[in-house]
Amino acid sequence: MVPILEAVPNFSEGRDLGWIGELLQVIERESVEVLDWTADREHHRSVVTYIGDLESVETASIAAALFAMDGIDLRTHQGLHPRIGALDVLPFVPLHDLTMDLAIESARRVAGWLAEEGIPVYLYGEARYGTTASRPDRSLASIRRGGFEALQEGFPAGREPDLAAPQWLGKPHPTAGVTCVGARRVLLAWNVFVEGISFYALKAIAREFRESGGGFEHLRALALELPESGRLQISMNLEDPVATSPYNVFDAIEERVEAGGGQVVETEVIGMIPDPLVLPTAVDRFRILHPGESRLLSRRVSEHVSARGISHTRV
C-alpha cells in the first residue's frame, strides 16, 4: 500500500491568473494530482490542493515555494487576508494509509529546505516542536498578527522563527517573507457571506463564535469587508469538522445575523469539501457556491488510489 499525502499551500497572489496557471504547471510536473485551486482578488490569495506519495508532494511543495519566492514581492502586496509570506501557509495532511508522524516528517523536511533557501519558517499544528520559552505554542492567527510589515525590520521577542539558515540575519526574506509549515487533520475552510447588517455587528459575531472568544471549539473566524464588491463575509477555518459540527456553527451564525435584521446569502468552501459536509444536504442548507461531487475529498482520494492500482482501505 502507498500512503497518500495532501498539501494545501496558500500563496499571496490572487489576481494574476497567468502566474497562477504557471504555478499549477510547476506543481503538476512533480507527479502529484491537483484536486482544486481557488484565487481571490480581494484577499489577494490563492489556495491549491494536491495529493500524491510523500516524495512527490514534498518535491512539488519545494518547487512551488521556489516559484513563489521568485514571483511574489510582499513589499508591494496589498490584500485583505493576513499574510507574512509569499508562500504564506503550507499544511501537510495525512490521508490514505498515512500516519500523522509521517506527515510531520514531511513538513519538517520541507521546512528545513525553505530555511536553507533563506526563508525563515514557523512550524505550527502537529509539526511544531515542543513548547518552550523560545518556541511558544503559537496559533496561525498570533503568528500572522500585523502581517509581513510587523516583521519586516526584525522579529520581536517571542516571535522568532523555529527554523532559519545558519547565516540568518534576524529578518524575514526581503521579498518572500516567512512561511508557516504545519501538519494537521482535514479541516473545513469556508466563507459565509451576509447582508443587511453592519460590519461592526459582523465583527462582534465573529468574535463571539470563534474559539478564542469562548465560542465553538476548533473554530477560527474573522469578519471581512470586501471593498471591491461591497460585500461582508465571515472567513473561517473549522479545524475539526467532526468534533464540531459545521451545521451547528452555520445555524448559530444565521440565527445571530437574522436577529440583527440581516440574512446569510451564500457559502464559499475553499479547497476540498470534507465528509462531514455531506452533499447534497450541505449544498441546500449552506447555499454552497460551485458545489459538485468532484470537490468531495474522500471521493477524489478513492479515484486517485484506484487510478494508481493502490489497495484502498480508507481516507
* Cβ-based neighbours of 40, under 8 Å, separated by 6 or more: 14, 46, 81
Same domain as 169, residue 33: yes
Q: Identity (one letter) of the amino acid at 201?
A: A
Of 161, 183, 205, the residue that ends a domain is: 183
How many Cα atoms within 13 Å fall on the side-chain side of residue 106? Answer: 30
Q: What's the grid cell of residue 112?
A: 528545513
Q: How far apart are CA 216 and CA 122, in angstroms?
A: 26
**What is the set of active-site residues?**
81
Q: How far apart are CA 308 and CA 303, in angstroms?
A: 9
Q: How far apart are CA 57 and CA 35, in angstroms?
A: 13
Of 183, 217, 243, the residue that ends a domain is: 183
pLDDT tens, position by position, 53-63: 999 999 999 99
* Number of residues assigned to the chain: 315
Same domain as 156, residue 194: no
Mean pLDDT of 266-292: 77
pLDDT tens, position by position, 5-43: 999 999 999 999 999 999 999 999 999 999 999 999 999
Q: Identity (one letter) of the amino acid at 202?
A: L
DSSP per residue, 270-285: ESPBPTTS-TTHHHHH
Q: How far apart are CA 193 and CA 292, in angstroms?
A: 20
Q: Which domain holds residue 217?
A: 188-302
Q: How far apart are CA 202 and CA 205, in angstroms?
A: 5
For a pLDDT cut of 70, what percent of the chain falls above it?
Answer: 93
End-to-end, the C-alpha distance of the chain in Å comes to: 13
How crowded is residue 137: how many other Cβ atoms within 10 Å of its Cβ?
10
Q: What's the grid cell of residue 165?
A: 539558515
Same domain as 270, residue 247: yes
pLDDT tens, position by position, 155-205: 988 889 999 988 888 899 999 999 999 999 999 999 999 999 999 999 999
Kindly report the CATH number assigned to the domain that includes residue 143: 3.30.990.10
Residue that is written with C-alpha cell 465560542 in the block: 215
Same domain as 132, residue 41: yes
Give the model's pLDDT for residue 133.
47
